[in-house]
Amino acid sequence: MPLTRRLQSFYERRIALPVDDSALVLDVGSGDKPHWRADVLVDRYTGPEHGVQRSGSAGARFTRPLFDADAADMPFADKVFDYVICSHLLEHVTDPAAVIEEMMRVGRGGYIEVPSVTMAKIDDFPSHLWWCDLQDGELVLTAKETAQFDADIQRFVDHPEVRADLHRLVVRNFDRCIVQYPWQGTIRYRVVGEASPALVESITAAHVHHRTVESLLVRGLTSVLTLPMRREPPVLTWNQLVKPALRRDPDLRLAPGPVPLPAD
Taking Cα atoms as reference points, which of 109, 43, 91, 9 lies closest to residue 257?
Answer: 43
pTM of structure: 0.90
Question: What residues pair up with 67 in beta bridges, in sequence order?
Answer: 42
Rounded CA separation 137/44 (Å)? 29
Phi, psi of 228 (to 5 degrees): -75, -10
CB 187 within 8 A of CB 139: yes
pLDDT in tens, the chain (264 residues): 677 888 888 888 889 999 999 999 999 999 888 999 999 999 987 655 444 444 445 556 678 999 999 999 999 999 999 999 999 999 999 999 999 999 999 999 999 999 999 999 999 888 899 999 999 999 999 999 988 899 999 999 999 999 999 989 988 899 999 999 999 999 999 999 999 999 998 876 665 555 566 777 777 888 888 888 888 889 999 999 999 999 999 999 999 999 987 765
- The side-by-side arrangement of strands in the sheet containing 138-143 is 130-135, 138-143, 189-192
Domain extents in the chain = 3-258
Helix boundaries (H) for the chain: 3-10, 96-106, 117-120, 151-157, 160-172, 197-203, 212-226, 238-241
